[in-house]
Amino acid sequence: MQILKKTKMNALKVARNLGPLGVVEILRKKKVTGRGGAGFPVAKKWKFAMDTDSDVKYLICNADEGEPGTFKDKFIMLKNPKTMIEGIIIAAETIGVKNVYFYLRGEYLNLREGLEKEIKSMLKKSESDASIEIVMGAGAYICGEETAIIKSIEGYRGQPYCKPPFPPKAGLWEKPTVVNNVETFVHIAQSLYFDDYNTNLRLFSISGCVKKPGIYEALSGESLTKVISKAKPTNKPKAIYFGCFGGCKPYKEMKLTAKNICGDDCVHGAATLIITDDKTSAVDMAYIISKFFTYESCGKCTPCREGNIQVLLLLKKLRAGEATKEDYELLKELSLHVQETSLCGLGQTSTKHITTGIKYFESEFTDLIKEDGTGKEE
Amino acid sequence: MTDKKIKMEKKFKIKLDGKTINVIEGQTILEICRAKGLTIPTLCKQPGLRSEARCRICLVEMDKKLVTSCSTYPSPGASIITKTDRVKNARRRNVELIMAHHTGSCNINEDEKNELCYLAKEVGLEETRFKKVRNYKPTLGSSVIRDDNKCINCGRCVDTCSKIQRVNAIDFAGRGFNEHVASYFEKNLPETSCIKCGQCIINCPVGAIREREHIDDVIEVLNKKKKHIVVQIAPSIRVSLGDDFGYEVGTNVEGKMVSAFRECGFDKVFDVDLGADMTIMEEASEFLRRLKDGGPFPMITTCCPAWILFMESFYHDMFHNMSSCMSPHEMLGMLTKTYYAKKVGLKKSDIVVVSVMPCTAKKYESTREELQSGVDYVLTTREATKLIKHFGIDFRKLKDSKFDNPLGVSTGAGTIFGATGGVMEAALRTAYELGTNEKLKSPDFKSIRGMKGIKTGSVMVNDVEIKYAAAHGGANVRKLLENAKDYHFIEIMACPGGCVGGGGQPIPTTEDIARIRGEALHKDDDKDNMRKSHENPVVKKIYKEFLGEPGSAKAHEILHTFYKKRSEF
């Protein structure tokens, strides 16, 4: 696996020889993109922060991996932390950052001690004057969001805020701030040192109805069947959920390109594949995921706070066989509304699983509508 | 209060509802639309503050996407549509979702004052299809009561408390649909650093926060008629009470106001302006004494009880800077129960003093142990309106009448106490003339007037340059106090605009409304024959007959107080 290849301080040497602009140029040429989900080009993000005039700048490593079914960052922090830290040091020196914050997911407390040791020894070895401080999350899913992470580190409620200003212009304590994901830093280090570095290799977190859930590396554009066959599905797969927020698609042979699986209704995100089989109903999945988002909504904006709880109540009614046709229509309407009008990425994707679930498995939903509802009497 | 940075203005073109218009970079869509006369409904947006875009009601369509107009800056060439069905439906649905939570405590079609209900009508919502999912118990405080069942999480109170007042007594707690406004560790408000300014009340669109009312107690006292009941009215009430009776903002209704209270059954109607004149006499002489003794400077005014709480919580090193004077209505209350009682041959316990104040903190002030208050009940302007309506008085048809003697004669200096900078201006008029034995060329100190957050100036008194300053609104206060040492004399009011923008004023009270009321008070001062507190004949008489000199032992016993430290949290 490419992700496990270690750069052994060589990438840092290369970076120091190249200088900041040289590093950015290589990242641009090798098309290194963010691995948190949005896929924003790293070089572009860094350039924004580098071009902003400020004596203090910050770097945040986003290790708040809260997406259900996603565990690639944990895998990296356990298997290849040195290369990741090297990537962080390269980033700090390139952007001109003295203080780096490593925002670790609250549930990953057991990783903290090991990481601290690695960070200490790597900083010593590299003779870098940057500091890397681990900040523990407290378990909120929303704190993986770029602006919420900033608020959380500042000591405020971990809630997103409206952009602009974008973090590379004014983020942590109003200073230029770059937020990158754990996996991204490994790619940064590797892209500088390995000539055969391939930016198209992605880490797929596969779970659900499979015998061997885990991390699988595959080229973007690989056949879906081929990728998930490695994880050994227990039965014939029925649907693929791209994490909780990404929505779902019926299982069929397709190429795992960003275009193909993101399409217009799903979000590719952090390459999370949750496989369900025929025994799992789409409505049950919708209910479980809805429960998750109702609990994890930060509560800041109306559609996400009030909308998700109403969606959950409607799904509950549906599962109990008490929903009328009107309720079903309201569910559809509200799901779309939450996506269209919420403030941050969480709200905007929190009902994707319902809109896509209804799109592809509509009969499973409509079968549960109360028989004597409106429409039949006429 | 927005500090606009001077920078190069970039202009570009956008399309607004099909028309191409020129806009300046850095304007939100909402600002652009409002400048063009387009109305867009808003709820959580507060003027002068950075939008948090919580409520998601001011939606418009920009390049086929729904965006909140309050927080979105259009890029060149953007196409914005404000009136499609998609926009209208989305706005209505968000109001509907909010309503689901609020319903049960208010009726969409009945409550006119409720901004949310008004909004519901504006977006064409008749009833909500959603169920209420939360239930809370109301929390009670000595000045402020909160009912989370009505709260719709718009965050205006939180923004006000943290950004305008910089008190940070409340913030959101809980997550998802359990998010609610709370204080530290869910303590009751009186146990926190809340300064009881009531700004959260006048900014709440649904009445989820309100003052603890004492109106029933007052009605009971009035109906029993066993005691001599005196009402005393704060300077700013005369320009704000009219709002609730359909007068234009800033109309001076002093004459009708006095008649109305007399109709309610109060035996005497006194003017707190006189208390203000007394405060000036004491404060100015305290200042002159400090000038003679060489300090300590700056001396800071103490008319505002919310500011007192602010200082007691956050500025523990400033106790010696505070004047020891009570606030005007407390002074007048004490004089009513001593000087006036003696004059009319009544015992202290036979008199009930009711203050009508623009302020919720005054309710708390009258319970302070430190000053053994002469005031029995404090009503806010809103409660005063209710009281007048309770007695079925047709306010607009009343004839004008005058305040009662002897405590109803006042000067223009007392009147301007209601506006920010007014106390300072009044104090300077008296301090200058008493300190120099010369007449001021003009009693106007214009640099200290107006709605600017921090106002400064200087005047020569006996070859000493006295530097003075005034700040209003907690955020400005904190800013000014960073450089407190640069000044001799500082006036502080906790509410933006001073008492005319107080937390007890009619809803709505905005900064603009406060400015208009302040200007009305200054107009009143301009017309007054007596514009200096030391020229007030009643003040002179009180000192001659009762107190002796300003700052005398007797004056100190009756009119001065002390302060105590409070926790910052």
pTM over 0.95: no
Min mean pLDDT across A263-272, A302-311, B10-19 is at A263-272
pLDDT in tens, B531-547: 999 989 999 999 998 98
Q: What is the pLDDT of residues B374-404, one digit of tens each?
A: 899 999 999 999 999 999 999 999 999 999 9
Catalytic residue list of B:
283, 286, 303, 323, 362, 365, 370, 499
Mean pLDDT (whole number) for A17-22: 93
Per-residue confidence (pLDDT) for residue B110, from 0 to 100: 47
User: Which of A206-220, B129-143, B170-184, B440-454 is predicted with the least confidence, judged by mean pLDDT?
Assistant: B129-143
DSSP H or E stretch at residue B223: helix B215-224
Contact A309, A317 (CB under 8 A): no
Q: Locate the chain A residue with the closest alpha carbon to B100.
A: A306
Cβ distance B97 to A298 less than 8 Å, yes or no, reads no
Q: Which CATH architecture has domain A282-366?
A: Up-down Bundle (1.20)
* Selection from B550, B539, B301 nearest residue B423 by Cα: B301
**Cβ-based contacts of A297 with chain B (< 8 Å):** 175-177
> Average pLDDT of chain B?
89
Contacts of A162 in chain B (CB under 8 A): 51-53, 68, 71-72
Burial class from Cβ neighbours inside 10 Å (0-12, 13-18, 19+) for residue B553 reads exposed
Assigned superfamily of A2-193:
NADH-ubiquinone oxidoreductase 51kDa subunit (3.40.50.11540)
Predicted confidence at residue A269, as pLDDT, reads 63
Q: Are strands A177-181 and A58-63 parallel, antiparallel or unpaired?
A: parallel
Please check the confidence at residue B185 and state whether its pLDDT lies above 70.
yes
CB count, 10 Å around CB of B121? Answer: 13
**What phi and psi, each to the nearest 5 degrees, are found at residue A199?**
-75, -15
Token pair of A63 as six digits: 């290790």
Residue with tokens 């979000």: A267
Please tell me the distance from the alpha carbon of residue B405 to that of residue B538, in angstroms, as a whole number: 9
pLDDT band, very low/low/confident/very high, at B230 (cuts 50, 70, 90): very high
Tokens (6 digits) for B134: 């939360």
Average the pLDDT over A92-119 and give the result. 94
Q: How many CB atoms lie within 10 A of CB B105?
A: 16
Chain centre to alpha carbon of residue B91: 32
Given this model, what pLDDT does residue B397 score? 93
Q: Which of A157, A294, A301 sits opposite B172 (nearest CB)?
A: A157
Q: Does A298 touch chain B (CB under 8 A)?
A: yes
Q: pLDDT tens digits, residue range A153-186?
A: 999 999 999 888 899 999 999 999 999 999 999 9
- Residue in A298, A309, A341 closest to B66 by CB: A341
In angstroms, the CA B13 to CA B207 distance is: 41
Q: To the nearest whole number, what is the mean pLDDT of chain A?
A: 89
pLDDT digits (tens, 9 = 90+) for B52-110: 899 999 999 999 899 999 999 998 999 999 989 999 999 999 999 988 877 655 554 44
Q: Is the pLDDT of residue A89 over 90?
A: yes
| pLDDT band with cut points at 50, 70 and 90 for residue A378 | very low
Handedness of CA B340, B342, B343, B348 (dihedral sign): positive
Give every CB contact of residue A85 below 8 A, 6+ residues apart in sequence: A118, A119, A122, A132, A185
Q: What is the pLDDT, as a whole number, of residue B328?
A: 93
Mean pLDDT over residues A202-212, rounded? Answer: 92
What residues of B are in contact with residue A305 (Cβ under 8 Å)? 153, 176-177, 179
Interface check A346 vs B, CB under 8 A: no
Q: Which residue has the higher pLDDT, B324 or A266?
A: B324
β-strand pairing of B79-81 with B11-16: parallel
pLDDT at B2 over 50: no
In this predicted structure, the answer to whether residue A88 has a pLDDT above a threshold of 50 is yes
- Interatomic CA distance for residues B170 and B392, integer angstroms: 38
- Per DSSP, the residues of B11-76 read EEEEEETTEEEEEETT--HHHHHHHTT-----SS--TTS-----S--SEEEETTEEEETTT-PPPT
| Helix (H) or strand (E) segment spanning residue A311 | helix A308-319
| pLDDT of B134 | 78
- Closest residue in B to A329 (Cα–Cα): B129
Chain A neighbors of B56, CB-CB under 8 A = 301-303, 341-343
- Boundaries of every domain in chain A: 2-193, 201-277, 282-366
Q: How does residue A345 score in pLDDT terms, banded at 50, 70 and 90?
A: confident
Q: Which of A260-269, B127-136, B471-480 has the highest mean pLDDT?
A: B471-480
Task: Determine, for residues A303 and B97 on separate chains, whether the beta-carbon distance falls below 8 Å.
Answer: yes
Strands B489-493 and B299-300: parallel
A145 in reach of chain B (CB within 8 A): no
Instruction: Tell me what percent of the residues of chain B surpass a pLDDT of 70.
Output: 96
Is B354 a residue whose pLDDT tops 90?
yes
ipTM value: 0.87
Percent of chain A with pLDDT over 90: 69
Q: Which residue of B has its CA nearest to A310?
A: B130
Per cent of chain A over pLDDT 70 is 95
DSSP assignment of A319-359: HTT---HHHHHHHHHHHHHHHHH-SSHHHHHTTHHHHHHHH
User: What pLDDT is recorded for position B218?
Assistant: 93
Residues in B lying within 8 Å of A, measured between beta carbons: 51-57, 59, 66, 68, 71-73, 90, 93-94, 97-98, 100-101, 129-131, 133, 153, 171-172, 174-179
Query: What domains appear along chain B, each with residue ranges and CATH number?
Result: 11-83 (3.10.20.740), 88-122 (no CATH), 144-211 (3.30.70.20), 215-559 (3.40.50.1780)
Dump the DSSP string for B283-312. Answer: HHHHHHHHHHHT----EE----HHHHHHHH
Angle, alpha carbons B539-B564-B486 (nearest 5°): 70
Q: Is the pLDDT of residue B33 over 80?
A: yes
A377 confidence band (pLDDT: 50, 70, 90): very low
B9/B506 Cα distance (integer angstroms): 39
Structure token pair of residue B66: 């729904």
- Given this model, what pLDDT does residue B109 score? 46
Q: Which CATH class is domain A201-277?
A: alpha beta
pLDDT at B405: 84
Instruction: Give the count of Cβ contacts less than 8 A between chain A and B.
Output: 95
Tell me which amino acid residue A362 is. Answer: E
Are B134 and B101 spatial neighbours (Cβ–Cβ below 8 Å)? yes
Q: What is the mean pLDDT of residues B283-290?
A: 92
Confidence grade of residue B248 (pLDDT, cut at 50, 70, 90):
very high
Q: Is the pLDDT of residue A373 over 70?
A: no
Chain A residue numbers with beta carbons less than 8 Å from the beta carbon of B120 are: none
Handedness of CA B75, B79, B84, B86 (dihedral sign): negative
Helix (H) or strand (E) holding B461: strand B454-461
Other Cβ atoms closer than 10 A to B18: 9
Output the pLDDT for position A376. Answer: 45
Report yes or no: A295 at the B interface, CB cutoff 8 Å: yes
Amino acid at A121: S
pLDDT for the residue B6: 52
A161 touches chain B (CB under 8 A): yes
Phi/psi at A201 (5° precision): -80, 130
- Per-position DSSP letters for A120-148, written without gaps between them: HHHHHHHT---EEEEEE--S-GGGGSHHH
Contact B20, B13 (CB under 8 A): yes
- CA distances (Å), A129 to each of A20, A124, A358, B73, B201, in order? 16, 9, 54, 39, 51
Q: Name every chain A residue with its beta carbon within 8 A of the beta carbon of B54.
A: 300-302, 343
Beta bridge partners of A219: A201
**Is there a contact between B90 and A340 if contact means CB atoms under 8 Å apart?**
yes
Whose structure tokens read 């109903």?
A281
Residue numbers of A between 54 and 73 with CB closer than 8 Å to B: none
Task: Point out the least confidently predicted range of A251-255, B5-9, B115-119, B365-369.
Answer: B5-9
Confidence of residue A266 (pLDDT cuts 50, 70, 90): low
Query: Does B371 have pLDDT greater than 80?
Result: no
Contact yes or no for A142/A158 (Cβ under 8 A): yes
Q: What is the pLDDT of residues B471-514, one digit of tens each?
A: 999 999 999 999 999 999 999 999 999 999 999 999 888 889 99
